[in-house]
Amino acid sequence: MSRLGNLGAKLYRGETSYDFVGRRKLWYGITLLLVVTALMGLGVRGLTMGIDFQGGAVLTTPPTSLSEADAREVAEGTSGRSADVQKLGSGALRIQVTGLDTEESGETRAALAEELGVPTQQVNADLVGPSWGEQVTDQAVKGILIFLALVTLYLAFAFEWRMAVGALVALLNDLIVTIGVYAFVGFEVTPGTVVGMLTILGYSLYDTVVVYDKVKEKTKNLTKQDRYTYGELANLGINATVVRSVNTSIVALLPVAGLLFIGSGLLGGGTLTDISLPLFIGLAAGTLSSIVLATPVATELKLRQPEIKDHDRRILARRARADARGGADEREDTAAGGGAAGAGGSGRTGIAERRVAGSHGAGSATGRGR
């Protein structure tokens, strides 16, 4: 079995663990920093809205040797507006100019045809009105609100409302981080971007539900045992699924990375970039948030329940008494061992045995809380 497989097996059995729940304040701080950074990028740089949201013309030339820079110079010089030029896989050029009306679009089309030395009819021109983009935005917002409402009802029914809150916090974090990255890199927001945003919600929720299911399994008999606190059992649930979540996300990220870095980079597919960038960012952010944010937030709310407080208080008090008894026994053995040292060292053996036994008793509590 590989090292990763061995690690996953140990995490699943609880032989080793990382204290995600106990260090939740650290994750809250990192998440808050990412969210604030994303909001600053959104506020300072803003989003670059595509032609579908601003209106304008999309001009497509036949295959040509004309460079992107030359085509941009012609389009901007004729229209007086900035133009975005992309080289398509067929060798054709796709030129987007925002804010053009029918007459201005015709003039730009004619200038490009003259530069290419082809009839004007061979340069295709499509006008896009901003109202279409607004309709897409309205429908997307409605879709997100309906999705979040259904997700909340499902999680509250299948698990409990505290876990629904944790999942919503994780989803909100994924959306804000993805939008913030878009603002920083300056990529255009298109209908493909909206589709990608909606898709990452499902991926993020999938990882969260997998973790929640294991946490529910670990904590279902909470009051019937007196070894673990609720936070420790929830942390065992996260550790049991963390390798699975990471492996699943890596497999999902590989084809998306192919679309983003190879498909859009080498083939020049604008739509590929529009969809793959939010998917890539959202998948990575969703995996992390399902592990370090969703369950810790749900646990934070769960620990406020009176019965959970009482249960954890009893366990912690019992451990404190056990630790105190262990320390007293060790001091007694040390004193007794001094007198027995002259009788063949049997006193040292007794001390060592009790220390080992005491270390197992305390170590089990420490190991559970790691």
pLDDT digit string (tens) for 42-55? 888 877 777 777 77
Q: Is the pLDDT of residue 191 over 60?
A: yes
Q: Both 225 and 289 in a single domain?
A: yes
CATH number at residue 43: 1.20.1640.10
* Model confidence at 41: pLDDT above 80: yes
Q: Which is more confidently placed, 87 or 9? A: 87
**pLDDT, tens digit, 9 for 90 and up, residues 309-327:** 898 898 888 888 888 887 6
Domain boundary among 80, 108, 128: 128
Tokens in use for 133?
Answer: 């983009």
Same domain, 84 and 137: no
Whether 156 and 198 map to the same domain: the answer is yes
175-179 long-range contacts, Cβ below 8 Å, gap at least 24? Answer: 175/200, 175/201, 175/282, 176/35, 176/38, 176/39, 177/34, 177/35, 177/38, 177/281, 177/285, 178/278, 178/281, 178/282, 178/285, 179/38, 179/42, 179/47
For residue 224, CA distances in Å to 160, 282, 307 come to: 20, 39, 13
For residues 316-355, b (16+ Cβ closer than 10 Å) or e, as one string? eeebeeeeeebeeeeeebeeebeebeeeeeebeeebeebe
- The band of 340, judged by pLDDT with boundaries at 50, 70 and 90, is very low
The verdict on 172 and 276 lying in the same domain is yes
pLDDT digits (tens, 9 = 90+) for 109-145: 888 888 888 888 888 877 776 666 677 777 778 878 8
Q: What's the token pair of residue 163?
A: 């876990």
Domain at 82, CATH number: 3.30.70
Do 148 and 227 lie in a common domain? yes
The structure tokens listed for 287 are 């995996």
pLDDT at residue 10 greater than cutoff 70: no
| Whether 137 and 119 share a structural domain | no
Average pLDDT of the chain to the nearest whole number: 77
Rounded to an integer, the average pLDDT of 229-249 is 87
Examine the fold and report which residue of 128, 146, 170 is the final residue of a domain before the chain moves on: 128
Whether 232 shows a pLDDT value over 60: the answer reads yes
pTM: 0.72
Residue 33, pLDDT > 90, answer yes
Co-location of 83 and 141 in the same domain: no
Residue 366: the pLDDT is 38
Same domain? 199 vs 90: no
Give me 107's structure tokens.
Answer: 């003039």
| 219 and 314 part of one domain | no
Query: How much is the pLDDT for 345?
Result: 42
C-alpha 249/C-alpha 235 separation (Å) is: 20
Q: Is the domain of 228 the same as that of 329?
A: no
Residue 27, pLDDT above cutoff 80: yes
Encode pLDDT of 130-189 as tens digits.
Answer: 666 677 777 778 878 888 888 889 888 889 899 999 999 999 998 898 888 888 887 778
Q: For position 362, what pLDDT does the model report? A: 34
What is the average pLDDT across 214-225? 87
Residue 305 has pLDDT above 70, yes or no: yes
C-alpha span between 278 and 175 (Å, rounded): 9
Which of 84, 109, 128 is where one domain is finished? Answer: 128
Residues 314 and 262 in one domain: no
How many domains, in total, are found in the chain? 3
Mutual orientation of helices 24-44 and 295-302 as an angle, nearest 10°?
A: 120
Structural domain including 183 reads: 3-49+132-304
If asked whether residues 122 and 148 sit together in one domain, one would say: no
**Helix spans in the chain (H):** 3-13, 24-44, 51-54, 68-79, 102-116, 130-158, 161-185, 191-219, 230-257, 264-267, 270-289, 295-302, 306-340, 346-369
